[in-house]
């Protein structure tokens, strides 16, 4: 799809009616820890076993950090790009599922290659880079080398805070004007690195910045129906809001499905670290929209408001992220309906989006879309899809083990139902 065609069609979506989950469904009481049906458990176990077998076969030939596939083979970044944390994170998930120390050794070796990025002040993605790799490594090994490196990364991340607008700048080196006032919904997923830093050091500064950014995001991103844009711009000099935009979504008025999923997961996590009910309410608004926008097959299209949805290309990575966020939200809110949708999402991914049909595929999850407007990575595999699929399955099958890796505790340290 060319940009000119996209611009022509934008007007057809700007006023599109939003789909949303019914309030009754969202509020339906159910035990968040209720055991899933045995068939669901079998499907998820089988998917986890398939994922681990695929990772075991692929890992010895991995020469960098997977960023996506080309002709079903991983393409690598040597410095990690923004996705470098997901390969060691996936290896950690495989270790939790199997106890095979080969995965543990591979996870540690891969994470160590990210060490130069601790001092990178040119990106907001330090949470994506260091939380599933170095923070997880510290939690699972107790080796303070990993904690120290994660704290250095948090120090780099807070240099991107704009106190006038109370936000973390997403893109661009700090000494460049381009994108200086640009905020993206993805940043919500980087805030937990700051919560970790405050918890480990006792310095409230990190969490204060995370909370300030979260409050700004919850003020400007959600629309009345709970959908969100990908981007919001501010005047970097005054902090004045300028308005929504998009890069990976269909339009500023659309709902890029992966961004919607980042928002659900990110606001839920920030609620867990702070206990602020406003963050929980925001997570629920975003989740209700996403749940209502899912089609019958439960595999999200790349943008919930793209003109050809629900028959447009899919993004299974959005489904995996959303499933994790909904499981977390079910536990945080006590609303079992979110867990039920998450289980349907994970089952749909396991049954329709794995790479089982191809003997040459190196990834676990197919049917992902990286950047549809740029025609970049349409219906490929992506490393974060593999990571979040396994995280979601382990949230169901092995919650105690997963809690060791990513800390599922609720506000004020009170554990949540799994």
pLDDT band at 294 (very low <50, low <70, confident <90, very high): very high
H-assigned helices in 33-176: 38-58, 86-98, 101-112, 126-130, 136-141, 144-158
What pLDDT was estimated at residue 310? 87
Q: Are strands 167-168 and 161-162 parallel, antiparallel or unpaired?
A: antiparallel
- 125 carries an active-site annotation: yes
Type and span of the H or E element at 231: strand 231-234
- 186 carries an active-site annotation: yes
Q: pLDDT tens, 150-172? A: 999 999 999 999 999 999 999 99
- What's the CA gap between 151 and 136, in Å, rounded? 13
| Catalytic residue selected from 125, 288, 312, 315 | 125
DSSP symbol at 131: I
DSSP symbol at 134: I
Measured CA angle at 193 (ends 385, 333), to 5 deg = 70
Q: Are strands 65-70 and 182-184 parallel, antiparallel or unpaired?
A: unpaired
Q: pLDDT tens, 318-330? A: 999 999 999 999 9
Residue 142: how many other CB atoms lie within 10 Å: 9
What 107-111 contacts at long range (C-beta under 8 Å, 24+ apart), as own/partner pairs, is 107/133, 107/136, 107/137, 108/137, 108/141, 110/62, 110/65, 111/85, 111/137, 111/146
Q: Which residue has the higher pLDDT, 31 or 138?
A: 138
The SS3 call for residue 239 is coil
Give the mean pLDDT of 120-141. 98
Residue 122: how many other CB atoms lie within 10 Å: 15
Residue 174: how many other CB atoms lie within 10 Å: 10
Token reading at 257: 């499905």
Cβ atoms 240, 234 nearer than 8 A: yes
The CA distances from residue 224 to 58, 146, 220, in Å, are: 45, 42, 11
What pLDDT was estimated at residue 190? 98
Cβ atoms 283, 268 nearer than 8 A: yes
Type and span of the H or E element at 168: strand 167-168
Give the mean pLDDT of 279-288. 98
Q: pLDDT tens, 247-282? A: 999 999 999 999 999 999 999 999 999 999 999 999
**Burial of 77: CB neighbours in 10 Å, binned 0-12, 13-18, 19+:** middle
Residue 183: which residues within 8 A CB-CB, separation 6 or more? Answer: 167, 168, 169, 170, 213, 216, 217, 220, 231, 232, 233, 234
| Catalytic residue selected from 81, 100, 101, 186 | 186
Give the mean pLDDT of 342-349. 98
Q: Lowest-pLDDT range, 10-19, 386-395, 396-405?
A: 10-19
What pLDDT was estimated at residue 417? 41
- What's the CA gap between 311 and 405, in Å, rounded? 37
Q: pLDDT tens, 21-48? A: 333 333 333 335 678 999 999 999 999 9
What pLDDT was estimated at residue 415? 47
Q: pLDDT tens, 297-314? A: 999 999 999 999 888 999
Handedness of CA 378, 379, 383, 385 (dihedral sign): positive
Measured CA angle at 78 (ends 72, 81), to 5 deg = 85
Q: Lowest-pLDDT range, 17-26, 345-354, 359-368?
A: 17-26
Cis, peptide link before residue 310, omega less than 30° from 0: yes
pLDDT at 378 > cutoff 90: yes
- What's the CA gap between 96 and 388, in Å, rounded? 14
């Amino acid at each position: 799809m060319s940009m000119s065609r996209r611009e022509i069609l934008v007007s057809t979506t700007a006023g599109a009616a939003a789909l949303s989950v019914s309030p009754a469904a969202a509020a339906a009481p159910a035990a968040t820890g209720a055991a899933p049906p045995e068939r669901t458990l079998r499907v998820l176990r089988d998917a986890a076993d398939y994922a681990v077998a695929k990772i075991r076969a692929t890992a010895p030939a991995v020469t960098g950090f997977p960023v996506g596939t080309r002709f079903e083979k991983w393409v690598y970044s040597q410095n990690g790009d923004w996705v470098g944390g997901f390969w060691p994170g996936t290896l950690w998930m495989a270790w939790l599922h199997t106890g095979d120390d080969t995965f543990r050794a591979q996870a540690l070796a891969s994470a160590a290659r990210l060490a130069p990025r601790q001092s990178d002040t040119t990106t907001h993605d330090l949470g994506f880079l260091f939380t599933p790799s170095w923070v997880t490594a510290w939690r699972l090994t107790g080796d303070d080398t990993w904690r120290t490196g994660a704290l250095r990364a948090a120090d780099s991340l807070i240099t991107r805070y704009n106190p006038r607008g109370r936000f973390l700048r997403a893109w661009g080196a700090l000494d460049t004007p381009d994108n200086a006032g640009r905020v993206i919904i993805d940043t919500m997923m980087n805030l937990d690195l700051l919560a970790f830093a405050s918890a480990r050091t006792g310095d409230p500064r990190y969490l204060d910045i995370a909370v300030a950014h979260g409050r700004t995001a919850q003020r400007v991103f959600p629309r009345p129906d709970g959908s969100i844009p990908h981007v919001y711009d501010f005047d970097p000099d005054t902090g004045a809001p300028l308005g929504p935009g998009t890069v990976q979504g269909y339009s500023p008025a659309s709902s890029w499905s992966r961004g919607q999923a980042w928002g659900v997961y990110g606001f839920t996590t920030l609620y867990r670290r702070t206990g602020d009910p406003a963050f929980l309410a925001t997570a629920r608004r975003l989740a209700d929209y996403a749940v209502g926008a899912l089609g019958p097959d439960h595999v999200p299209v790349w943008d919930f408001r793209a003109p050809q949805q629900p028959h447009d290309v899919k993004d299974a990575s959005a489904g995996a992220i959303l499933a994790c966020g909904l499981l977390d939200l079910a536990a945080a809110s006590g609303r079992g309906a979110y867990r039920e949708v998450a289980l349907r999402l994970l089952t749909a991914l396991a049954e329709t989006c794995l790479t089982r049909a191809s003997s040459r595929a190196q990834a676990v999850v197919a049917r992902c879309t990286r950047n549809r407007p740029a025609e970049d990575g349409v219906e490929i595999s992506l490393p974060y899809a593999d990571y979040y699929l396994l995280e979601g399955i382990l949230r169901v099958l092995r919650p105690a083990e997963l809690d060791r890796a990513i800390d599922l505790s609720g506000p004020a340290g009170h554990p949540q139902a799994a």
